[in-house]
């Protein structure tokens, strides 16, 4: 009996595979091989998800949370959330926050990626500089943004003042608070878009461009007729990932405005966080309900993406 090599990922070399076709083999072997993965998925994906749903369909006030005897309330928490006067404005703020952020992050990221595709002196260095927002701890960048946007002594207002624009109360006015956090979030998201789109550009073969230039296409036509269409799969995944990240952004908004003033920069994610941790009276059940609504929204877009991709393959 010769021993067969079994590689780390359980792939069996060909003699073994041939044998398996003959013998049925114990199903337990398969289970045993899958066990680590199943245990991992159950512990780190299924359990938190189930727990989140469990929180949202019980009335976990703080006493019930400690004593573990929360009353079952069905969909009451969801009904409360949806009928709350905060829901429409939080939903609209979320749409604006995610939509505007993604649009600008993608457009600027793509422009920079195309720009850096032409290798020039220092392009590597400059590209690295654009990654800085990614490397900074969020507490640092968010605090810096809120200082820069300070109404009375922030650098942005003093610059605007120098060119004759009056004081803008960036983060203390309900009219501009959402804009302020969106601007900061766009800045944060550009490196991610730049990196993914840039690597996508590397995969477009050079001869396509050669052919385009032989056909007399200018830079603008080349971009719209060659780069953009060939980049579509990468773009789709970039936007999808960006969407999922942006939907659940809490930190930057929390640090800059706490969702205020007057709830003007409150998104669903911040609302969820505030219910759970932002007040002296943690309300985990409504927080979980809002969180689950967010998961469903992300899931819808995820499925839309899968569907889109499948259609493209066919």
Partner 1 sequence: MHHHHKSRAIAAAAVSAVSLLALTACTASGDSSGESSGASGSDTYTWWDPYPQHTDGSDWQNRVQACGDEAGVTIDRTAYDTTALTNQLLLSAQEGTSPDVVLLDNPAVSTLADTGAIISMDELGFDTSAIDPNLLGAGVVDGTAYGIPIGANTLALYYNQDILDAAGVDPASVTDWDSLNAALEQIDASGSRAITFAGIGTEEGSFQFLPWFWGAGADLTELNSPQAVEALDLWVSWLDNGWAPQSAIQNSQNTAWEEFLDGTVGFVENGTWQVNSAADAGFPTGYITIPAMNGGAAPAPTGGEFIMAPAQNDSARYDVTRQIIECMTTPEGFVQTADTFAYYIPPTADGQAQFLDEHPELEVWVDAVRAAKGRTSDNLGTDYPLISEQLWTAVQSAMSGAQSSQDALDAAQDAAVAATGR
Cα–Cα dist 229/25, whole Å: 48
Is the distance from CB of 301 to CB of 240 less than 8 angstroms?
Answer: yes
Cα–Cα dist 224/257, whole Å: 39
Cα–Cα dist 78/66, whole Å: 22
Is the distance from CB of 181 to CB of 97 less than 8 angstroms?
Answer: yes
Which residues sit opposite 72 in a β-bridge? 58
**What's 276-307 look like in SS3?**
HHHCCCCCHHHHHHHHHHHHHHHHHHHHHHHH
Q: Is 133 in the site for partner 1 (CB under 8 A)?
A: no
- Contact code string over 189-228 relative to partner 1, x by CB under 8 A: ----------------------------------------
CB of 4 to partner 1, least distance (A): 7
CB of 214 to partner 1, least distance (A): 57
Nearest to partner 1 of 32, 50 (CB atom): 32
Rg (the chain; Cα; Å)? 25
With CB under 8 A as the contact rule, the residue among 21, 24, 36, 216 that binds partner 1 is 36
Rounded to 10°, the helix 284-313/76-83 angle is: 80
Q: Is 6 helix (H, G, I), strand (E, B) or coil?
A: strand
With CB under 8 A as the contact rule, the residue among 66, 118, 214, 296 that binds partner 1 is 66
Is the distance from CB of 56 to CB of 78 less than 8 angstroms?
Answer: yes
| Both structure tokens of 120 | 């020039």
Q: Is 291 in the site for partner 1 (CB under 8 A)?
A: no
Q: Is 83 in the site for partner 1 (CB under 8 A)?
A: no
With CB under 8 A as the contact rule, the residue among 27, 68, 137, 216 that binds partner 1 is 68
With CB under 8 A as the contact rule, the residue among 24, 26, 83, 119 that binds partner 1 is 26
12 DSSP 8-state letter: B
CB of 227 to partner 1, least distance (A): 43
Nearest to partner 1 of 177, 190 (CB atom): 177
Stretch that binds partner 1, among 38-46, 103-111, 189-197, 303-311 (CB under 8 A): 38-46
DSSP string, 120-172: -TTHHHHHHHTTHHHHS-HHHHHHHHHHHT-TTT-HHHHHHHHTTPPP--TTT
Count of positions on this chain that bind partner 1 (CB under 8 A): 48
With CB under 8 A as the contact rule, the residue among 9, 152, 207, 313 that binds partner 1 is 152
CB of 92 to partner 1, least distance (A): 15
Which residues in this chain contact partner 1 in the complex, by CB under 8 A? 1, 3-4, 6, 19, 23, 25-26, 28-29, 32-33, 35-36, 39-40, 43, 62-63, 65-68, 146, 150-153, 167, 169, 171-174, 257-264, 277-282
């Amino acid at each position: 009996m010769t021993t067969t090599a079994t590689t780390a990922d359980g792939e069996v070399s060909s003699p073994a595979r041939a044998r398996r076709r003959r013998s049925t083999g114990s199903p337990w072997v398969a289970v045993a091989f899958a066990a680590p993965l199943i245990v991992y998925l159950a512990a780190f994906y299924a359990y938190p998800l189930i727990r989140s749903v469990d929180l949202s369909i019980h009335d976990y006030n703080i006493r019930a949370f400690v004593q573990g005897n929360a009353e079952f309330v069905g969909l009451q928490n969801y009904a409360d959330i949806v009928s709350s006067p905060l829901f429409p404005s939080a939903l609209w703020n979320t749409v604006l926050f995610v939509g505007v952020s993604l649009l600008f992050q993608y457009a600027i990221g793509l422009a920079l990626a195309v720009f850096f595709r032409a290798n020039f002196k220092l392009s590597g260095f400059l590209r690295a500089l654009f990654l800085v927002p990614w490397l900074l701890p969020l507490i640092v960048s968010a605090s810096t943004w809120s200082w820069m946007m300070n109404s009375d002594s922030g650098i942005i207002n003093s610059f605007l003042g120098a060119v004759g624009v009056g004081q803008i109360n960036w983060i203390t006015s309900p009219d501009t608070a959402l804009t302020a956090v969106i601007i900061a979030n766009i800045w944060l998201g550009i490196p991610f878009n730049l990196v993914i789109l840039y690597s996508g550009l590397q995969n477009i073969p050079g001869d396509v461009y050669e052919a385009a230039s032989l056909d007399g296409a200018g830079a603008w036509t080349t971009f719209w007729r060659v780069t953009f269409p060939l980049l579509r799969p990468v773009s789709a995944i970039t936007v999808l990932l960006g969407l999922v990240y942006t939907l659940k952004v809490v930190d930057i908004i929390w640090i800059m405005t706490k969702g205020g003033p007057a709830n003007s920069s409150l998104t669903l994610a911040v609302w969820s966080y505030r219910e759970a941790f932002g007040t002296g009276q943690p309300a985990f059940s409504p927080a979980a309900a809002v969180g689950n609504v967010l998961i469903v929204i992300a899931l819808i877009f995820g499925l839309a993406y899968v569907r889109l991709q499948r259609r493209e393959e066919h």
